[in-house]
A and B are shown apart, each in its own frame.
Chain A
Amino acid sequence: MTESFKTEPQIKETEERKPLTKKEIAADHPTWCPGCGDFSVLAIYYKLIQKRNIHHEKVTTVAGIGCSSRFPYFVQAHGAHYIHGRALSFASGVSLSRPDLHVFAFGGDGDAYSIGGNHFIHTARKNVKMTYVVMDNFVYGLTKKQTSPTSPIGYKSKTDLWGAFDKPTNPMKLAIAAGATFVARTSHSNPKHLLEMMDLAMDHDGFGYIECLSECTEFYKGAFDASNPRKGGKYPLVPEDHDVTDESAAYELSGEDFPGRFGLFYQVQRPTKNALEARVSDDAKAKFEGKQDWEILQTNFNRMK
């Protein structure tokens, strides 16, 4: 039987390895504009890797296209900078074929909710095991200020000179309706909260999705001031008595006006795609106990004679 779908961790830890230093995790210097919210997400990712004592080869960082999607270059670990909108499909391929790895996907609002909207829905529905952080800045930054699916009504961009008028996507509602099993909301401006959410998402056995407000200081400065206490705003947490397994309550929470709520909106346990596929494989393999791959194939060929 070849090792494949059901790969156990292949690198045996022969020595106690010290947590990586920040220097060991950091790779290329980020290309983001000064003050970009993405810096703090990157810093928290480093912190998470250190805190959880993850080593370079155990993690895979995947991103699509956009400012935030430059992420993998800045992390000293195996990574892939994939095409626009399809990071989740790529990440699913890694996750489903390599259960020994933890897969992190990063992206922006265009990648996640516009060009990649279909993959967002289906990856959530299928509950593919990974952690997905969307750094939502309500604008297309890399292409310099066009309307994004989360741009609020009235936002003046180069493609909506008179102010955006299409109803913005509500990512939380979208995720819940799609069948995501872990839905959280946080902001770059609150690193402690961001780390807390990433920690929880990483422990979630399934598709752990985090909507993270991440300000574009270049093209949408001040977009999130109302959620930043240092700028006179409020950072309202999910009420303590909120039942995270209550889908309707989570949906209702998602409908609040900006700044809305921050924290874990929804979390349920449902078998992952990974586990369900593995179960199919285990059942199928049981019938061929002790047989080599060519012998399994031979049973098919014998029927075709």
Chain B
Amino acid sequence: MSQTAVTGDDSGSSSQASRISEAVIRIAGNSQDGIQSIGGFLARLAGRSEQEVMTMMTIPSTISGGPSIFQVRLGSGEVLSAGDQADVLLAFYNHSYEGHIGNLRDGGIVVYDSDHVDPNEEWLEKYRHIGIAISSLTVEAIGGTTRDKGKNIFALGLIGRMFNLNLEKLEGLINERFAAKGESVVKPAMDAFQSGYRYHSDDISNLFEFSISDVDRTNQVVMSGNEAIGYGLIAAGVRFGAAYPITPWSEIMEMLRRELPKYGGAFIQCEDEIAAVSMAIGAGYAGRVSVTGSSGPGISLKTEAIGWAVMAEVPLVVVDIQRGGPSTGLPTNVEQSDLNIACFGGHGDSPRVVIAASDVEDCFYTAMEAVDIARRYSVPVMLLSDQALATRIEAFEEPKLEEICQDLSPDLTPVTTHKPYDLESETGASHHRPPGTRIEDGRYPVATGLEHDEWGHPTSSPDLHDAMTKKRRNKIHFLSKELPVPEIYGADSGEVLLVGWGSTTGPLYEAVDKSLENGEFLSAIKIRHINPLPNGLEDIFSKFKKIYVVEMNDGGVHGYGQLAGLLRGRFADPRIQGINKTDALRWKVWEIIDRVKEISA
């Protein structure tokens, strides 16, 4: 906010409000305070707002009963990351105040619950302090025996007033949210909200006003990255899946379990990860592109079965919501350290497709693309997301469902003959014929993990193993020809090209924007298709002097992260260097800029 804020006078506004294009608000309390639902409301407001507000949320910790925070970034422009520093901190307790004030920018505003927080003398100078008795005012507003339950809604009211958000719409959202629970819940919620919104203080009234964006964002939907993947799979025509619960993947399986029956499908909870991937492969063999997914150790467990799907050429989508590893690692933290297992996990030469989603909207479309590739190439597709992206809520333009939704019912059209592993296939891909297909010449296929001839019979012929290995690899190669070349964010040529993938993309693009403000020139690309890589990357690389691959993983023994290693292997280009970190936190924009300076020096 600090960089982009302009005063009301400059913008010609008659109000006292600073006209801003974005703001980062961090709300800190305990998880039972319902502070995450404030984020939900703000996100929903964003999706239907004429003020073109956009939000992004991160939930670093969701442990029940413990301290919890979320950060929301509201903006009228494109919001690329959750923001490095907060402009406003809303602190419910001393521990939230003390623990998070370090994330507030100098001169930022801390709004604290004066019933619980004792301001620190030293910080009074550095940050603007606004104390409001949030707890007691909430109790007063609601009355009765509700204690301070509802102070999240009171706080939402305060935020609404501070940022001059649309009152009518916020009230509408609260109504919708609680309507099902009856008037006994709606009324106290509304009372708490009104009390917060109408809280009289010159300190907070209309502090800020968002500038009008030139982008029309009125037709938006709001969801988390995990939801976007789930809905993308449904839109693509997936009707069967199986999984085992694990954080942070579980949300997708819970949602598919709930949603797929509406479409005549099913999602099965299995006894373990191996059963889950096997059941999904079984259903894929039976004629439907099916999905399994996991995080961390679950992905390791699935690798043998994925190798079978590569060998037998059966379509499959595997969603990997990456978390910190190895082993049990950091279940609720982000890391991008599964690229290698996604590309190479398992024994033998087992080429598969790996694609990575970079933001919530991308989760939706990448899921659709994963299904499409799996089906057309009869191959497992690994879809990479991560913990930060999974739990982030964003608004994006509503997809035109009528146009994009697909029906992928099994094709059981009888055929005269069927060679399951045809070496003459133009793309190298096999056309999978599911059971139920009548084959008139009476020769039926066996899908197999043994090396096989074109009819699926086991063979240990050296020539056939060679030919089939090439066939499985060539179809991946064929796919690379149809992949789009990444667009360069920033200048088309220059000194430094930043290369990123997945959720690192947002901070990377923002680093490019920041560098321009500072008179430096960075450019960036995101690698969405990781295996195979799209053609034409070498042309992009050739226009820059230095290529830095920014990842949330370890540089390893050779000093390159997992994507950097892949790119060096592909292009043998010594200009490709790694910028890595393993603190299991998302990249902050300043970190990227600092690290670029450091490595360039």
Contact = CB atoms under 8 A, between A and B. Distances in A.
B264 A78 contact: no
A55 B266 CA distance: 27
A79 B282 contact: no
Given A28-B457, A119-B271, A296-B263, A4 B401 contact: no
B283 A304 contact: no
B445 to A, nearest CB: 7
Contacts of B414: 11
A112 B276 CA distance: 17
Contact of B280 (A93, A281, A285): A93
Contact of B240 (A58, A97, A122): A97
A76 B444 contact: yes
A123 B221 CA distance: 40
Interface string A182-196: 000000000000000
B39 to A, nearest CB: 14
A91 B282 contact: yes
B566 interface: no
A297 B364 CA distance: 13
Interface stretch (A44-52, A80-88, A241-249, A256-264): A80-88
Interface residues of B, number: 74
Contacts of B401: 294, 297-298, 301
Contacts of A90: 278-279, 281-282, 285
B437 A305 contact: no
A10 B259 CA distance: 25
Contacts of B437: 57, 78
Which residue, of B237, B409, B436, B446, has the highest number of chain A Cβ atoms within 10 A?
B446
Contacts of A5: 239-240, 260-261, 264-266
B275 A86 contact: yes
Chain B interface helix/strand/loop/mixed: mixed
B407 A73 contact: no
Given A90-B279, A94-B435, A300-B231, A78 B308 contact: no
B444 A77 contact: yes
B286 interface: yes
A122 B244 CA distance: 13
A297 B407 CA distance: 13
Contacts of A82: 278, 281-282, 308, 449
Interface in A1-25: 1-7, 10-11, 24
Given A86-B305, A288-B262, A73 B412 contact: no
A58 B227 CA distance: 37
Contacts of A3: 264, 409-410
Interface in A245-303: 277, 280-281, 283-285, 287-288, 292-294, 296-298, 300-301
Contact of A101 (B220, B405, B435, B458): B435
B262 A98 contact: no
A304 B395 CA distance: 9
Interface string B69-105: 0000000000000000000000000000000000000
Interface in B270-310: 270-272, 274-276, 278-288, 290, 304-305, 308
A47 B470 CA distance: 40
Contacts of B290: 93, 97
A83 B305 contact: yes
A305 B270 contact: no
Contacts of B227: 304
Contacts of A91: 282
A96 interface: yes
Given A96-B240, A122-B275, A298-B401, A57 B438 contact: yes
B587 to A, nearest CB: 28
Interface in B36-58: 44, 47-48
A80 B447 contact: yes
B264 A281 contact: yes
Contacts of B448: 73, 80-81
A4 B447 contact: no
Q: Which of A28, A72, A98 has its CB near the most chain B CB atoms (within 10 A)?
A: A98
B266 A297 contact: no
A122 B276 CA distance: 12
B445 A83 contact: no
A86 B398 contact: no
Nearest to A24: B442
Contacts of A28: 457
A60 interface: yes
B212 interface: no
B283 A89 contact: no
Interface string B420-447: 0000000000000011111100111111
A294 B405 contact: yes
A305 B457 contact: no
A227 B17 CA distance: 93
A195 B278 CA distance: 29
A6 B409 CA distance: 11
A123 to B, nearest CB: 9
A83 B277 CA distance: 12
A92 interface: yes
A59 B446 CA distance: 12
Interface in B234-251: 234-235, 237, 239-240, 242
A221 interface: no
B450 interface: yes
B401 to A, nearest CB: 4
A122 B262 contact: no
Contacts of A300: 231, 259
B275 A89 contact: yes
A56 B304 contact: no
A297 B435 contact: no
B223 interface: yes
Contacts of A27: 444, 446
B446 A73 contact: yes
Contact of A305 (B47, B412, B443): B47
15 contacts: A5-B239, A5-B261, A5-B264, A11-B414, A57-B436, A57-B439, A76-B444, A77-B435, A80-B285, A80-B446, A82-B281, A93-B283, A96-B240, A97-B239, A304-B47
Interface of A: 1-7, 10-11, 24, 27-28, 55-60, 62, 72-73, 76-83, 86, 89-94, 96-98, 100-101, 118-119, 121-122, 277, 280-281, 283-285, 287-288, 292-294, 296-298, 300-301, 304-305
The 10 closest A-B pairs by CB, nearest first: A93-B282, A78-B435, A89-B278, A294-B405, A90-B282, A284-B261, A93-B279, A122-B271, A4-B239, A93-B283
Given A78-B446, A79-B447, A285-B264, 7 more contacts: A2-B409, A5-B260, A5-B264, A57-B444, A93-B279, A93-B280, A96-B240
